[in-house]
């Protein structure tokens, strides 16, 4: 069975890039969200194996959404996506329970490495 992934990023282009990498490598993308509020709703609906979560988004940022998802499911696996220069936020995310982080612009091998480590 393929691993089910929820892709969260406020930029449609970034969602498309991650989705493309995932689908080409046998993952199933069960949903896409443009902000943290949508991410939480879709997480409840789909219960994915993994979430890729952008840090900086409108409405609700990725770290807040990560904390909410961890409250819903303490075993949730979330990988944060950050732009260069967001180290402090990445540290906050890891402390809040993120499994790993990937840096934009995405490199397919790094994305896949982080995901395979997270979902085992």
**pLDDT tens readout for residues 36-77:** 999 999 999 999 999 999 999 999 999 999 999 999 999 999
pLDDT, mean of residues 95-103: 95
Q: Which two tokens stand for residue 119?
A: 């979902």
Number of residues in the chain: 120
Whole-number pLDDT of residue 86 = 74
Whole-number pLDDT of residue 90 = 87
Q: How far is CA 41 from the centre of its chain?
A: 14
Compare 87 and 37 and report the one with higher pLDDT. Answer: 37
pLDDT, mean of residues 16-30: 97
CA angle 118, 53, 68 (to 5 degrees): 95
């Amino acid at each position: 069975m393929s691993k089910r992934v929820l892709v969260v990023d406020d930029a449609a282009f970034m969602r498309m890039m991650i989705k493309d990498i995932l689908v080409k490598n046998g993952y199933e993308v069960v949903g896409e969200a443009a902000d943290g509020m949508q991410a939480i709703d879709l997480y409840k609906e789909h219960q994915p194996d993994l979430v890729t979560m952008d840090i900086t988004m409108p409405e609700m940022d990725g770290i807040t959404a990560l904390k909410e998802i961890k409250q819903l499911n303490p075993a949730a696996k979330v990988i944060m996506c950050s732009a260069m220069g967001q180290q402090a936020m990445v540290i906050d995310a890891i402390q809040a329970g993120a499994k790993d982080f990937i840096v934009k612009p995405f490199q397919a091998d790094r994305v896949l490495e982080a995901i395979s480590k997270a979902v085992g």
